[in-house]
Amino acid sequence: MEGLSKREIEIVSWLEFHKKYFFSSGDIRKFSKNKTQRYNIVKNLIKKKRIVKLNRAKYYLIPVKAKSGSWSEHPFIMADEACNGKDYFIGGWAAANYWKLTDQLPMQLDIYTTRRQGKKKFLNTRIVFRRTTKKRIKDAVTGKTEGHKFIIQSREETKKWLKSGS
């Protein structure tokens, strides 16, 4: 890990040893004296591309085994962690592909949420946040991949979406 300080190597190693790939700044509290020092540690690790910021309080650690700094995580897991596991569902072509209603691989991940909107790129995944209502979120179902749960549009709603002309 070229370019990392002794403290940064210690933090990255500790996070990876404890398998905390998704973490908050509070998780590294024991490595700093105060909030400002934690902020600077996180800022430097982002600048050195060892972590990726998912939302205001959550980060993703790029593992040490990613030698060149490039890494890929399952997009559904990234979406769930970016939304803190609530008030969202995955829809669009990603849902259609998940339910095997199409063989087309999605170019982006559409996340319907009540809290945010806009486009964001996490690692190699383009995510588009779209606004929706709490009623539509309640109709979504839970899926599972690689031992991680996420919320996805139901099969029936996805069929309706495909028939409507996407």
Backbone angles phi, psi at 53, to 5 degrees: -85, 125
Asked if residue 161 lies in contact with residue 91, where contact means CB atoms within 8 angstroms, the answer is yes
Q: pLDDT tens string for the chain (166 positions)? A: 458 889 999 999 999 999 999 999 889 999 999 999 999 999 999 998 889 899 888 999 987 776 655 566 788 998 998 898 899 999 999 999 999 999 988 999 999 999 888 898 887 889 999 999 999 999 999 999 888 999 999 999 999 999 987 6
For residue 132, the model assigns a pLDDT of: 93
For residue 1, the model assigns a pLDDT of: 46
For residue 69, the model assigns a pLDDT of: 54
For residue 92, the model assigns a pLDDT of: 93
For residue 62, the model assigns a pLDDT of: 86
For residue 111, the tally of other CB atoms under 10 A from its CB is 27
- From the number of C-beta atoms within 10 Å of its C-beta (0-12, 13-18, 19+), residue 95 rates as buried
- From the list 46, 40, 51, the residue with the least C-alpha distance to 16 is 51
For residue 66, the model assigns a pLDDT of: 62
